[in-house]
Structure 1
Amino acid sequence: MGDPDRWGVATDVGLGLGCAAAIAVQAAALAGSWGGTYWVFDCAVGVVVTLLALVRRRHRGWTAAVGLVVAAVAVLVADLAGLPHEPGPATALPLAVVVASAVGALPLRPAAAIATGGLAVVVAAMVSAGPTAVPVWNAVAWLVAVAAGAALRLLDARRRATAEQVRRDERLELARELHDVVAHHITGIVVQAQAAQLVSGGQPERARQSLAGIESAGSDALAAMRRLVGILRDSADAAPASAGPEQLAELVARFERQGVTVRLAVPDDDPGWPPEVTATVYRVVREALTNVARHAPGAGTVTVTVADRAGTVTVEVVDDGPAAPTRHPRRHGYGLVGMRERVEALGGTLAAVPRPGGGWSVSAVLPASTRERR
């Protein structure tokens, strides 16, 4: 994009040269048609408004207001003194610049006031000059200035809306990451702690295993939180926050420490999915296992199947927990919502339904490539 200061200087230099050329041409034209020194007043007004246009960035509102006042006074003086009608082309050009700049940058009410002031100058020129070319070029300059200012406002509004959307998406992504990390690991800690309490008296070996599981889950939670903090700090060497399907075996192994058998089936070879697909697959499985731990304490076996068929990735997590009609309504957290949003953002679908005879099934279908959605 280049240096903004250098670009601004180049723009002002071009504006100054253009206005100087307009002033010179207008002076020559008036000297040839009116004769004498009639050109002096017209060119002096053009020079004043040009100087205002060159310093417009210091205070867009005041430079535009002063420029309009100068133009209005010039219309009145020219009419009373019998001078060439104002504002001439040498004044209309820089006046359009200061009006466009103010309309594009000021709040709505001051911008509307500047635009209305410009229209008043155009009307005054029409009344003073009558059916000549003067009001025509002033009307055209005003229309161009207002249109350019409105376009600048629209572009600025779009930039602000885009920036706000990016910030909103980042906050939502962070909320999802925090929920995924905390819900999964803390659930494992709670389940292991409950198991340790139950077996601490008569089965010390199992109690030690549960305590080891708590330690492992706590370490995993700390590592995940460090990854998130690394992202927030924009650290160049921060570990990736999202895991791919190659880490599903480790996830399953941690889950099995809670006493539930997990059957895992994944593609043998590297499927080559985009990072957002692999991350979403992992998160769907992690959230589904977390929900099993929370809401299906009687489940003995969970089947996790990840497959790639004809460019479509399917993820299915099925548990054999007992039938529980209230199991779904009790899920008031953000886990299922977050899973659905992630999957749908990639153009996929998600379903979480009870199975006939007991247990639940969570299934997601994703496109293996997201290039068409970019």
Structure 2
Amino acid sequence: MVNGVLGLLFAAALAAAALLYAQQGRPWVLDVAVGAAVCGAALLRGRRPGLAAAAGLALAAVGALVAGLAALPGEPGGAAVLGLLVLGGSAVRRLPPGQAGLVAAAGLVMMLAGLLIAGPMSTPFRVGGQAWLLALGAGLALRLRDQWLRAATEAVRREERLALARELHDVVAHHITGILVQAQATRLVGRRKPELLDESLAGIEKASGQALTAMRQVVGLLRDTEDVVSTAPPAAGPEQLVELVAGFTGHGHPEVRLALPEPSRPWPPEVAGTVFRVVQESLTNIARHAPHAREAVVAVIDTFDEVSVTVTNDASSTPSRPHPGGFGLVGMRERVEALGGTFAAGPQTGEGWSVRATMPVAAEEVRR
């Protein structure tokens, strides 16, 4: 998309330069050739922004040298300057600091050398130098913005991982307690009814497997993390979803229809808590970004091996209030994917927005 817009802009700049030079009776082939080459490097910057920037600067320098020796109109021309602006900004934004500094310095040296050779009144190098400084400033601003977004996103993910880890800690405690009770019962069964010993041991084995699975999830969630969680969201079941939806409806919010599975079964605490958080965050986003929606629908489907929750609204595709960053979606995705599930959010066909999360639930993991 970005390259498509840039391609149209570059083509317009090249055509305008050729037309202007032709009308003035000035040679235009070199200007267009150099401009096309530099713009081509800008469009091909892709995964190698440093190499593309170096190639663009080299092409512009060669064009300027040829123009000077052949007494042709000064280079770099308008299209080449535009391409260099894109190359410089992209390099500063994406390259490691050392490489970005080298590219920035190389461009400044080339522009300064052109001014010293052609004279301080040389328009191409004077404009080119100003454009290069503008590109470096824009690239640096975008680089700082990207760093802030990465830090904020990681903070949300870490908070969500730790919150879910606290819930899973409670799940492990639940399983361990069950193992202890079953072990005590097995001792009694072994004395009085030895024929039931295998069944009791199978129950201990199953509970141990469940505890091991939950502990592995805790370890995975806490990797590379040293923070301590003080609070955790509630591990709520279908009945708490009814209360959540009832509290949202009204108060200037759109009407919410809730569809729950019938009959419902208890969900594992980690799944129940995640379903609750997805619905809670989705309804909050509707209130913030789509208050003009007429209706929202929360649908929960519980099959034999998975639980899915979908939250949709019928608001127009253009939000009435700008979205500040979308970190709530990052948190929801982190929780769902940590449980081995899938998460998707985006506009619906026509109007409205949809959030869908699906989490696996093994039959033996359902809390009874």
TM norm structure 2: 0.49
Q: Name the structure, 1 or 2, with higher relative contact order (CA <8 Å, separation 6+).
A: 2
TM norm structure 1: 0.48
The structure whose Rg is larger is 1
